[in-house]
Amino acid sequence: MKSLMNLIIMLIGGAFFGFGLAESGMVSPRVVLQFLTLKDFGLLLVMGGAIAVTLLFYQLTPRLLRKPLLDGSFDKRVLELDSKVIIGSALFGIGWGISGICPGPAIAALGIGNFEVIWTLIGIFLGAYLQALWASRNSKQCLA
């Protein structure tokens, strides 16, 4: 029963996310590219608003709930600023600039019938798969 409830909560959250992305125009590569070329700052307001709402919820939720809806406890993730984060961020930015669309909005764009983004999604999955192969190859070399 718990896994069904988790699926329902994730479906509702995903629906809000997708609706918000489509409503704000973030599913349009043209809008995103205009933002990235500093011709339209509307997405800055969208992202700023989304960050503000998320920050508020992330600050209030641990105070209002004993545990998260989909996990056992509220844990903090310690992120080190290392070469993996820097290189990964740069590669993500290059891919975003080339394709003109971020992964979340690319998936949401399918919902509005923008099937051209399927190529971006194939590239995203291919890149993630290749990185996993690369990481497993490197971890095996470290063990040898």
Cα-only R_g, the chain: 18
pLDDT at 48: 92
Q: H or E element: which one contains 16? A: helix 2-24
Mean pLDDT of the chain: 85
Which residue is it, tokens 């961020």?
89
pLDDT, residue 19, reads 92
pTM attached to this predicted model: 0.70
> What's the rounded Cα separation, in Å, for the pair 105 and 108?
5
Q: What is the pLDDT of residues 10-50, one digit of tens each?
A: 899 899 988 998 898 888 888 888 888 899 888 889 889 99
Q: Where are the domains of the chain?
A: 2-143
Instruction: Say if CB 67 and CB 73 are below 8 A apart.
Output: yes
pLDDT one-digit tens code per residue, 63-86: 888 877 777 777 777 778 888 889
142 band by pLDDT with thresholds 50, 70 and 90: low
Q: 47-50: which pairs have CB atoms within 8 A and are 24 or more residues apart?
A: 50/20
pLDDT classification of 123: cutoffs 50, 70, 90: very high
